Amino acid sequence: MVPSDDPYVANGSTGLRLDEDGHLARAEDWTPAIAMALARREGLQLREEHWTIVGLLRAYWMQHLTAPPLRVLVVLASQALGPDRGCARNLHRLFPKGPARQGCRCAGLPKPDGCL
């Protein structure tokens, strides 16, 4: 279910602390309302499938304290959305700036590691 919007967040008066890459400074501060505010910064409107991915990212991060590699996220997304919707190409449509980075930003998680 898509959470309802929070006018307090929508006003932009959240006082959210973000790091230099636009990720929430403290993952534990995250709420669904904050996710919507963060998504708006990205030009996204979160729909059902977005919330599924955000939920998967947060669940994985809470267990492993790291973001899943895209290949693992795709496996989890395939189980949740079905193989057609759970592929990386669809996740890219949901999060055009990258399912890992943009998805993590919406999920209130730190920037994923990787040697770039």
Which residues participate in catalysis according to the annotation?
115
- Please identify, among the stretches 20-28, 45-53, 89-97, 103-111, the one whose residues bind another protein according to the rule CB under 8 A: 89-97
- Please identify, among the stretches 2-10, 14-22, 29-37, 84-92, the one whose residues bind another protein according to the rule CB under 8 A: 84-92
Whose Cβ is closer to another protein: residue 9's or residue 67's? 67
Asked if 99 interacts with another protein (CB under 8 A), we say yes
Residue of 98, 32, 33, 29 whose CA lies nearest to 67 = 98
- Please identify, among the stretches 16-24, 42-50, 51-59, 92-100, the one whose residues bind another protein according to the rule CB under 8 A: 92-100
DSSP letter for each residue of the chain: -PPPP-HHHHTT-----B-TTS-BS-GGG--HHHHHHHHHHTT----HHHHHHHHHHHHHHHHHSSPPPHHHHHHHHHHHH-TTTSSHHHHHHHSTT-TTHHHHHHTTPPPPP---
Asked if 87 interacts with another protein (CB under 8 A), we say yes
72: its two tokens? 């693992």
Q: Nearest approach, Cβ of 33 to another protein (angstroms)?
A: 28
Asked if 115 interacts with another protein (CB under 8 A), we say yes
For the segment 16-75, give every residue that binds another protein (CB under 8 A). Answer: 69-75
